[in-house]
Every structure is written in C-alpha cells, then in structure tokens.
Structure 1
Amino acid sequence: MSHGKIREDKTCLNCGHTVEERFCPHCGQENIESRQPFYFLFTHFIEDFTHYDGQFWQTIKYLLVNPGKLTKEYLSGKRQLYVAPVKLYIFISFITFLLPNFLPESKETSPQSERTKIEKTEDKRKTSEKVLEKLEKKGYLSKDVSKEIKKGMDTIKAKDSINDALAHSEDVIESTLSTKESSVFNAYNIKQYDSIRAKDKTGFYQLARPFAEKIFTLKEEGYTKKQIRDKYKETFIHTIPKALFVYLPVFAFFLWLFHNKKKWWYFDHGIFTLHYFSFLLLSTLIFIIITRIFDAIPSYGIINMIFWLLYTALFFYTSIYFFVAHHRVYESSKRISILKGMSLFIINSVGITLMLMILMYVSFIMMH
C-alpha cells in the first residue's frame, strides 16, 4: 500500500465523491496529496512493481506448467491473484518482440564477413612491415635480417594466396555440382525466371515472382544460401506473434462452434484463446532464446545434440499443451476431449499455417 500523505479534504479529486477512508468507494482512487516528496516516486514504483511482480510470476508459473489452470481460475471469478488475460497477452507479445533485439546475433549474418577477414589480415601485414622499417631505421635490425624477415612474410602471403585460390576453386566446383540446389524454382537469375513464368499456365510463377526476385537480390548483394536461409528462419520466427494476434478471434470462433452455446459463451472461449496464445508466444520466445544462445557459442556435436533435444522437447510439449488445457477447462471426458481437440487442432493448424504463409510472404518481400 502507498504511504503518501492523505488529504484533509474528503472530496475525491477524480470523481468528486466523498471519501471516508483512504480510497474512494466510487472510483477507487487513493485520496492522497497530489504533490508528494521526490522519494515518493521511487517508493511508489517499487510497491507497484513488487505487487505486479507477484502476480506476474504466479501467472507465468501456471501458464507454463499447469495448462488450463489460469482459464479455470479466471472463469470461476478468482482474478485478483493473476494478471488479466488481455494484459498478459499484450505484455508477453511486447517481450517477444523486444527481447530478441538484445540477444546476440548469429555469427554469419553478413555477406561482408569474409571480406572483413581478408582486410584485417592485410592490415596486419602492413603493420608488420611498418614495424620492420622503424626497427631498421633505428638500427635494431640490419638490412639483411630485415630482408630475410620480409621474404618469409612474402612466402607466407604466397601460401595464403594459394590457399585462398584453392578454397575459391572448391566453392566454384561445389557451386557447379549443386546448381539445382542454388536455383530458385528451376531458374538461376531473374531473366530466366521470367522466361519460365511466361510459359507457365498455372499462375504459380506469377504469384511467386516477388519472392524469387527477393532471393536473387540477396544473392547479388553477396548473401550465401545459408545466410538467406538464416534470414528466412529469423523472419519466420518474428512473424509468428503477428499471425497469432490476427488469428485470435478466429480461433475463439472455432471453439464456440464446437461447444455447447448455452454453457459456454464466446467470451469464455476468448479467455481460453488469450491464455493459450500467450503460452504459444512464450514458447516462441523460449525457442528464440535457445536458438540465439546456441548460435553464439562454438558448434560441437554434444552442443548440437543438446539443442535438438531441447527443441524437440519444446515442440512436443507445445503440441500436447492444447489437449491438456482443453480437457481441464471444458471438463469433457477424455475421449470426447481428444476427438474435439484433434478436430480443433487440425482445423486451426491449417488456419494458422495459411495465416503464417500470407504474413511470411509479405514479411520476406519487405525484408532488408
């Protein structure tokens, strides 16, 4: 509770009603002085935060490990101990969009990485040559010794050039052998793609042209196939929250169709949907964190295995979560709950997939 000084005037500043005690019985505003000491800002902030903090962690705990618990509590009227469904969804959405920006990026995000390595190596060689010249001028090294060192450096440089040439030739060979892999819908540039599109009668090539054009543009900018795939994956992950938000009322509508209209209102399905989608966002955030952590550390066999185990466990838990939550909230028999759950899961999986594809298409085209 706040420790601000109570006003002597018993008229509420917010609504004008009489305040007998600390809080207005009409609007709930605390009847304290409008101006307080400066430290009051900090004490008030700490009190509000710890109050919300207690609600938040209790809510997150039930959301993650107790499917359906929050929805049952809310619909039964127990709402003071938990964060409200809409606030919870907005807060988790905000965190899901914001937090990944502070996490370390993948090591191979820029097509300039190899060029930077070469430039750094060249800078080191130039610095070494300047140091040798200074030592020679000051008499610390004789001209003969300096020449021998430079010859050694030239030999190393020549070896590096040979290695670079071999590596480049390997890339060319690999590119030649895997041309089908590097093609985009059987085309290797936008002109070839347009010639195939002109002959296509299905309309697929016309629809996919912006997508193909984007890939060819990224290749021209120097991005490798792996880097394009990484950018695509990153864009896909960030598209999930947008797709879920747009699909919220549709998901609730399908729940309404499959259940007793007298017992369950659309409002009830909306609360279930908000809690379930909050969980999906939270699991997406956990996946992003795991991915970024493993991208930032060296790649070893055991580390890759741990990553895939975590990813697989999260995937299966996310898939099972809906059935457990549905069974607990709607209190139907396990058999009926499984049948309804399977039907809803399939219908909504198709719906969310279509929504994702549309948003993914738009997001990828606008990616830079």
Structure 2
Amino acid sequence: MSHGKIREDKTCLNCGHHVEERFCPHCGQENIESKQPFHFLFTHFIEDFTHYDGQFWKTIQYLFTRPGKLTQEYLAGKRQIYVAPVKLYIFISFITFFLPSLFSHSKTEDNTPNRDNTLQVIKEKKETPKEIAQITDTLKKRITLHKEDINLPKEDESIKLNDIKDDSDTSLIDKASNGKLIILGAKNMEQFDSISHVKKDIAYAYIRPFAKKLFHLQDSGLSHDEISKRFTETLVHTLPKALFVYLPVFAFFLWVFHNKKRWWFFDHGIFTLHYFSFLLLSTLILIFLPKIRSLLPDNGIITFVMILLYAAVLVYMSVYFFVAHHRVYDTKKSTSILKGMALFIVNSIGILIMFLILLYVSFWMMH
C-alpha cells in the first residue's frame, strides 16, 4: 500500500465520486495528493514491484505444479491474488519469444586464410622457396576444392547430369564435403532444372520453389549448418504466434465436448489460456536445457541427467492436460479420461496441421 499523503478533499480526482476512506469505491484510485515528494516515485515503484512479484510467483507456482488449480480458483472468483489469464499468457509468450534471442550465438567469423592473406604472410615473413612452394600447392588445392562454385562449362554439367540421371537413390537434401547443399543431386538451380527436365519427375516440380529458396540462401553466402540454424531460430520465434492463433480453436473443441449449459465458452477460454501458458513455459525450459548443457563440462553423468530432465518435461507436458482437465471439469475419472483422450487426439491433429503450416511459414520467412 502506498504511503502518499491523503487528500483532505473527498472527491476522487479520477472519476469525481465521493471517497470515504483511502480508495475510491467507484474506480479504485487512491485518493492521495497529486504532488508528492521525489522519493515517493521510488518507494511506490518498490511497493508495486514486490506486490506484483508475489502475485506472479504464486501464479507460476500454481500453474506449473498444480494442474488446473489456477483455472479452478479463477472460475470460483478468487482473482485478486493471481495474475489475470490474458496478462499471464502475454507475459510468458513475450519471455518465450524474447529470451532465446538474447542467448543466440553470434555468427562466427571465417578464419580460413584467403589468397590475399597468404600472399601478405609471404611478404612479411619472407619464407624460403620451399615454404613458398608448399603455400602455392595449398592455394591450388583450395581453388580445386571450390571450383564447383564457379560457373562450370556445359560439358562438365552434362557429365554430372549423366552420372545422376539413373541414380534412383538420390537423397532429397544432402551435404557436400565443402558444406554446400545438394538437393536431389543438384548443386545449384541450373543443375536442378536440367535434372528435372531429363527425369520428368513430378517431385521436382513440387520441390522446385523450396530448392530455389535454399539455393538463393546458399548463394547469399550461408552454409548448410547456418541455414539449418536460421530455420530453427525462425521456427522457435514463430511458435508463440502460432499458439496464439490456435487459442480459440482449442477453446472451441473444449466447448464441443462439454455441457453447454454448465460451461460457457468463457470458462473454456480461461482453461485454454492457463494451459497454453503452461505449454509456453515448458517450451522455454526445453529451449534453455541445451543452452545450460553447453555451459557445463563434457561429462557422461551430466548428459544423462539432462536427457532425463528433457524427457521428464515432455512426459509432464502430456500428463498435465489430463490432470488439469479432470480437476477443472470435475467429472468421473473414466469420463474425464475418455474426453481427455478424445480432446488430446483432436487437438494433436489440429496442432500437427498448425505445425506443418508453421514450418512452411517459417521457411519462407527465413532470410
């Protein structure tokens, strides 16, 4: 509670209603002087922070350790001591979206010496003819290794095409020794179109837009590993948005499977917000477990413990829904299990479809 000086005037500055004590009964604003000492800013901030802090941690504790209890309390009218469901979801969604980006690894610099650097070393160190011959030989090998990045003559392309033409075991996406992508045997878009024209396979027509995007990223200077990393980061950042879009769909399925007179769509919405807040919080834990592991020493026991923790979170995410559903909707265990399984299957299909759409969107958003 604030320690600001109470106004002698009993008229609320916010809404104009009469104030008997400290807070306005109409709008809830504290009836204190509009001008306060400078230190009031800091004391008021600390009081507000500690109040929210206690409210927040109690909400998180109930959300994570007592499935369904938070929804049960909210629907029973006990709302002042917990963070509101929408505010809770937005906050957890924000930290799930924002925190991983703070810990993303910066792009490593390429320390491989190029031709100019090598010549500079020769000038500075004044190597012997034998050392110069060795460096020259190394440069020749590098040029040979990266020759495929240069526009090859048509006869070379035809040779490669003949080698691939009858190869039925060509992988969808492969990785060359130099880290470049190979899609259905092609190392660039020109080769891909040539192979597609010879084989006349419908798969090439479907894959062509994706191949074009991947080769474009590769031509921009990204390696296979860098493309995979960017795709994963884009996918993780897009997940909270996709879950937000799926919220009303999840609540609709709950509405379909339960008594319409006893349970309003509002009730299902509260359950959905709490459940998805839990899913986001669990997702954040799954994201940070590998990052924590990378900071620890390379030890078999530590790796085993991390695997167990990862598996435990995944299992808990699956079990959580059934426990929360039984506690909130207060049905017989057998009925709750049957409805829970039906909802779990229906929503699993729905989330799978959403995930496929998410993969597609994430791929095209990657740059």
Q: What's the TM-score, normalizing by structure 1?
A: 0.79
Asked if 1 retains the 8 angstrom alpha-carbon contact of 2:231 and 2:362, the reply is no
Q: CA shift at 1:314, angstroms?
A: 1.6
Alpha-carbon distance in 2 for matches of 1:88, 1:355 = 23
Alpha-carbon distance in 2 for matches of 1:210, 1:288 = 30
- 2:46 counterpart of 1:39: no
Map Cα deviations across residues 50-94 of structure 1 (whole Å, 9 max, x no partner): 000001001111111111110111111111211111110011111
Distance 1:221 1:37, change over 3 A: same
Asked if 2 retains the 8 angstrom alpha-carbon contact of 1:59 and 1:70, the reply is yes
Alpha-carbon distance in 1 for matches of 2:305, 2:220 = 34
- 2:364 counterpart of 1:365: yes
Alpha-carbon distance in 2 for matches of 1:221, 1:99 = 28
Distance 1:360 1:299, change over 3 A: farther
Alpha-carbon distance in 2 for matches of 1:325, 1:318 = 11
- 2:26 counterpart of 1:49: no
Asked if 2 retains the 8 angstrom alpha-carbon contact of 1:68 and 1:326, the reply is yes
Map Cα deviations across residues 174-210 of structure 1 (whole Å, 9 max, x no partner): xx9x973424356543345456399566xx7656544
Alpha-carbon distance in 2 for matches of 1:358, 1:268 = 28
Identity within the alignment, %: 61
| Residue of structure 2 equivalent to 1:58 | 58
Alpha-carbon distance in 1 for matches of 2:265, 2:286 = 31
| Residue of structure 1 equivalent to 2:321 | 322
Distance 1:152 1:298, change over 3 A: farther
Q: CA shift at 1:291, angstroms?
A: 2.8
In the alignment, structure 1 segments of 5+ residues that lack a partner are 133-146
In the TM superposition, what are the counterparts of 1:237-316 in structure 2 within 5 Å? 237-295=236-294, 304-316=303-315
Q: CA shift at 1:299, angstroms?
A: 5.8
Asked if 2 retains the 8 angstrom alpha-carbon contact of 1:96 and 1:281, the reply is yes
In the alignment, structure 2 segments of 5+ residues that lack a partner are 150-163, 175-181
| Residue of structure 1 equivalent to 2:157 | none
Q: CA shift at 1:250, angstroms?
A: 0.5
Which letter maps to 2:334?
Answer: R
| Residue of structure 1 equivalent to 2:72 | 72
Distance 1:216 1:294, change over 3 A: farther
Alpha-carbon distance in 1 for matches of 2:242, 2:335 = 29
Which letter maps to 1:342?
Answer: M
| Residue of structure 1 equivalent to 2:216 | 217
| Residue of structure 1 equivalent to 2:30 | 30
Alpha-carbon distance in 2 for matches of 1:262, 1:362 = 39
The range that moved more, 1-10 or 230-239, is 230-239
Distance 1:359 1:37, change over 3 A: same
Q: CA shift at 1:46, angstroms?
A: 0.6
Alpha-carbon distance in 1 for matches of 2:5, 2:170 = 76
The range that moved more, 42-51 or 214-223, is 214-223
Asked if 1 retains the 8 angstrom alpha-carbon contact of 2:234 and 2:365, the reply is no
- Classify the secondary structure of the residue corresponding to 1:7: coil
| Residue of structure 2 equivalent to 1:116 | 111
The range that moved more, 54-63 or 357-366, is 357-366
Map Cα deviations across residues 275-314 of structure 1 (whole Å, 9 max, x no partner): 0000111111112222333456676655544443332222
- Classify the secondary structure of the residue corresponding to 2:111: helix
| Residue of structure 1 equivalent to 2:159 | none
Alpha-carbon distance in 2 for matches of 1:239, 1:255 = 25
Asked if 2 retains the 8 angstrom alpha-carbon contact of 1:235 and 1:360, the reply is no
RMSD: 3.8
| Residue of structure 2 equivalent to 1:14 | 14
Structure with greater contact order relative to length (CA < 8 Å, sep ≥ 6): 1
Distance 1:30 1:223, change over 3 A: same
Map Cα deviations across residues 87-126 of structure 1 (whole Å, 9 max, x no partner): 1001111111221122142x7x55xx4x33537xx69x95
Alpha-carbon distance in 2 for matches of 1:237, 1:297 = 23
Q: CA shift at 1:265, angstroms?
A: 1.0
Which letter maps to 2:267?
Answer: D
| Residue of structure 2 equivalent to 1:144 | none
Report the count of equivalent residues: 339
Q: CA shift at 1:244, angstroms?
A: 0.6
Distance 1:7 1:260, change over 3 A: same
Q: CA shift at 1:227, angstroms?
A: 2.8
The range that moved more, 208-217 or 65-74, is 208-217
Alpha-carbon distance in 2 for matches of 1:305, 1:153 = 51
Distance 1:299 1:219, change over 3 A: farther
Asked if 1 retains the 8 angstrom alpha-carbon contact of 2:170 and 2:185, the reply is no
Distance 1:117 1:60, change over 3 A: farther
Q: What's the TM-score, normalizing by structure 2?
A: 0.79
Which letter maps to 2:287?
Answer: I
